[in-house]
Amino acid sequence: KWVYEGDRPARWVKEKDPWVHGYWFHDWAEQRHAIKEIDPVNRTLEVKPPYHNYGYQNGKWYYAYNLLSEIDAPGEWYLDRETGVLYFYPPAPLKDGDAVVSVLPKLITFADVLHVTVQGLLLEAARGTAIEMTGGETNRVLGCTLRNLGGWGVRVSGGKDHGVVGCDLYGTGEGGIALSGGDRKTLTPAGHFADNNHVHHYARIQRVYRPGITLSGVGCRATHNLIDNAPHMGMGFGGNDHLIELNEIHSVCYESNDAGAIYTGRDWSCRGNVIRNNYLHHINGFEGRGCVGVYLDDGFSSADLVGNVFYKVTRAAMIGGGRDNAIENNVFVDCVPAVHLDARGVGWANRYIVPNGGWQMQEKLAAFPYQQPPWTKYPHLTNILDDEPYLPKYNVVARN
């Protein structure tokens, strides 16, 4: 329950099913709540559980929706769940045609299939993800449009050499393309790739940590993609030996702060990643209060940032206490600061990074044979626990 300002919420007292959506504590964690009660005399608003994991803080931002009394602008709507009636203020005069309601959870599922191509299709109106691939080899999604979905555009899990090429993805409820595969214990690459796609206006329902493209596992790559207009991340990655190259990302993180256009964090074992020759611009966060271009968060080790161009990015490159990262030969224009590096592992974050700490850094490392080949190819990893692991050692910032 909290105290609100002004008299506007008093109009919602008789609403049947009002909701609020907000960033209640951190600028990177949001949640939707059904409203339990509004007291217009004391100006209090109470929501129904489940409550927000991080609690609630004064001065945070939220909005109310599903309010019949507030429909006064094109595009607004109200759903009466009891009667099943949808009230909708159309953005343009309605024309004769079909009304489409999503029913299917998925549109296409690949399960351990080989050498199948989906090409030139319009895929839309699924309640979940349009295309799911598990296992298999050398499947392709080429030149398709994937839109108006409740989940992701394409999700790949396992298998090898799957590709998403030349597709337009927008209006998804979650992210755009998720690629996962390879064997991290043996560092066997998946070979999955996302190339020359345009991913925009995504994360419509789940607003944070649903990037346009995400890479996990070993040996995936994202190249020549355009990603724009999203409330939170542009790209995310975790794992080993990924390549993010020749992409353009702009106008992301517009509804959040302390977030990254390209983001990863909290792992010492994610080595061999390269972020090269990308163009990141106009990334400033909600109300211009601060975001990051490439965010290596909370001890992440390691990635090489090489030959990228950053323009009008609030904090272009950030090493949040990690090791063995390189920031070399990049161009920074109107970025303040261009590079941030800190030693949080020996400061405020130490209690999270120690054994059994909240970030599980040492437990994640112990899950892999990091002192044996082929893991020995990563410098400074085999003896990390004996080499002041909480200090941000072996980072290089040069020739920018």
pLDDT tens digit at each of 400 positions of the chain = 999 999 999 999 999 999 999 999 999 999 999 999 999 999 999 999 999 999 999 999 999 999 999 999 999 999 999 999 999 999 988 888 888 889 899 999 999 999 999 999 999 999 999 999 999 999 999 999 999 999 999 999 999 999 999 999 999 999 999 999 999 999 999 999 999 999 999 999 999 999 999 999 999 999 999 999 999 999 999 999 999 999 999 999 999 999 999 999 999 999 999 999 999 999 999 987 779 999 999 999 999 999 999 999 999 999 999 999 999 999 999 999 999 999 999 999 999 999 999 999 999 999 999 999 999 999 999 999 999 999 999 999 999 9
pLDDT reported for residue 289: 78
Phi-psi region of 85 (alpha: psi -120 to 50; beta: other; left: phi over 0): beta
Whether 278 and 378 share a structural domain: yes
Domain C-terminal end among 58, 88, 118: 88
Q: Are 52 and 24 in contact (CB under 8 A)?
A: yes
Whether 14 and 69 share a structural domain: yes
Q: Is residue 265 part of a domain?
A: yes
Query: 183-210: buried (b, 16+ CB within 10 Å) or exposed (e) per residue?
Result: ebeebbbbbbbbbbbbbbbbbbebbbbb
Residue 5's φ and ψ, nearest 5 degrees, are -100, 150
Whether 259 and 388 share a structural domain: yes
Q: Which two tokens stand for residue 153?
A: 């555009």
Whether 232 and 283 share a structural domain: no
Whether 60 and 190 share a structural domain: no
Angstrom distance (rounded) from CA 40 to CA 7: 7
Which residue reads 């970025």 in tokens? 335
Residue 370's φ and ψ, nearest 5 degrees, are -70, -10
Whether 110 and 194 share a structural domain: yes
Whether 79 and 120 share a structural domain: no
| Residue type (1 letter), 211 | P
What's the total number of domains in the chain?
3
Q: Which two tokens stand for residue 242?
A: 């990924």
Domain C-terminal end among 62, 88, 114: 88
pLDDT reported for residue 100: 86
Whether 262 and 388 share a structural domain: yes
Q: Is residue 95 part of a domain?
A: no
Domain C-terminal end among 23, 56, 88: 88
Neighbouring-strand partners of residue 213: 177, 235
Domain span holding position 120: 102-236
Whether 311 and 359 share a structural domain: yes
Whether 230 and 299 share a structural domain: no
Task: Tell me the pTM.
Answer: 0.95
Q: Are 133 and 164 in contact (CB under 8 A)?
A: no
Sign of the alpha-carbon dihedral angle for 69, 75, 80, 84 = positive
Angstrom distance (rounded) from CA 33 to CA 17: 11
Q: Which two tokens stand for residue 140?
A: 């392709």
Whether 75 and 141 share a structural domain: no
